């Protein structure tokens, strides 16, 4: 009897965990669709979409966080180079630019890094709570002009299965891919 109950619990947990989706697991683009494998019914809302020169975008992407964001930036197959904010700081020190770029924790410091190190765009994640729900989003920032050039968001229902890579993060990245591919 205990073995039967144990087997039923194992099957239940296997179904439960396999149906929930992943969280913070980087993946590659689907070779057929050329997008990340998102839930079909989940799309991000674009808040800001400012056209820029594609060459400005393609040079270097700096991501605010570590592994997942770094890998997803690389897996978009758009940027020549993708580094983290801490790697940017290391490059500034390595190139003896610390007298010109004192900090990279504010807009002025990011602009100086853009000018003295090399042109880049900065990708960061945002989440917020409003009266109409919880939202997650991606912001692409141009340090040279001190402006957000792309911003999107997606509604998160914390009480259901909508906080996963497939239903939240991948749709956000797919929306960013659309923006990047539209730039000339």
User: In the chain, where are the structural domains located?
Assistant: 23-182
Full-model pTM: 0.83
Which tokens belong to 183? 């730039």
3-state SS, 105-159, equals CCHHHHHHHHHHCCCCEEEEEEEEEECCEEEEEEEEEECCCCEEEEEEEEEECCC
Proportion of the chain above pLDDT 70, given as a percent: 83
On whether the CB atoms of residues 37 and 27 are closer than 8 A, the answer is: yes
State the pLDDT at residue 110: 97
Across residues 25-45, what is the average pLDDT?
87
Q: Average of pLDDT values for 165-177?
A: 88
Number of Cβ atoms within 10 Å of the Cβ of 159 = 7
Confidence of residue 178 (pLDDT cuts 50, 70, 90): very high
Q: What is the pLDDT of residues 149-159, one digit of tens each?
A: 999 999 886 55
Average pLDDT over residues 127-140: 89
Phi-psi region of 169 (alpha: psi -120 to 50; beta: other; left: phi over 0): alpha
Q: For the domain bounded by 23-182, which CATH number is listed?
A: 3.40.50
Res 19: pLDDT:
43
Q: What integer pLDDT is reported at residue 4 of this predicted model?
A: 46
């Amino acid at each position: 009897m205990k073995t039967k109950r144990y087997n039923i619990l194992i099957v239940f947990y296997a179904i439960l965990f396999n149906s929930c989706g992943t969280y913070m697991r980087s993946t590659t683009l689907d070779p057929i669709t050329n997008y990340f494998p998102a839930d079909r019914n989940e799309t991000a809302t674009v808040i800001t979409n400012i056209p820029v020169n594609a060459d400005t975008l393609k040079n270097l992407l700096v991501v605010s966080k570590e592994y997942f964001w770094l890998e997803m930036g690389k897996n978009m197959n758009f940027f020549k180079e993708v580094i983290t904010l801490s790697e940017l700081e290391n490059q500034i020190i390595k190139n003896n630019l610390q007298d010109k770029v004192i900090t990279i924790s504010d807009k002025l410091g990011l602009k100086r890094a853009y000018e003295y190190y090399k042109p880049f765009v900065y990708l960061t994640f945002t989440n917020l709570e409003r009266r109409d729900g919880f939202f997650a989003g991606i912001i692409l920032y141009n340090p040279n002009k001190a402006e957000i050039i792309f911003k999107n968001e997606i509604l998160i229902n914390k009480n259901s299965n909508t906080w996963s890579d497939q239903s939240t993060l991948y749709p956000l990245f797919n929306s960013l891919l659309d923006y990047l591919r539209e730039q000339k």
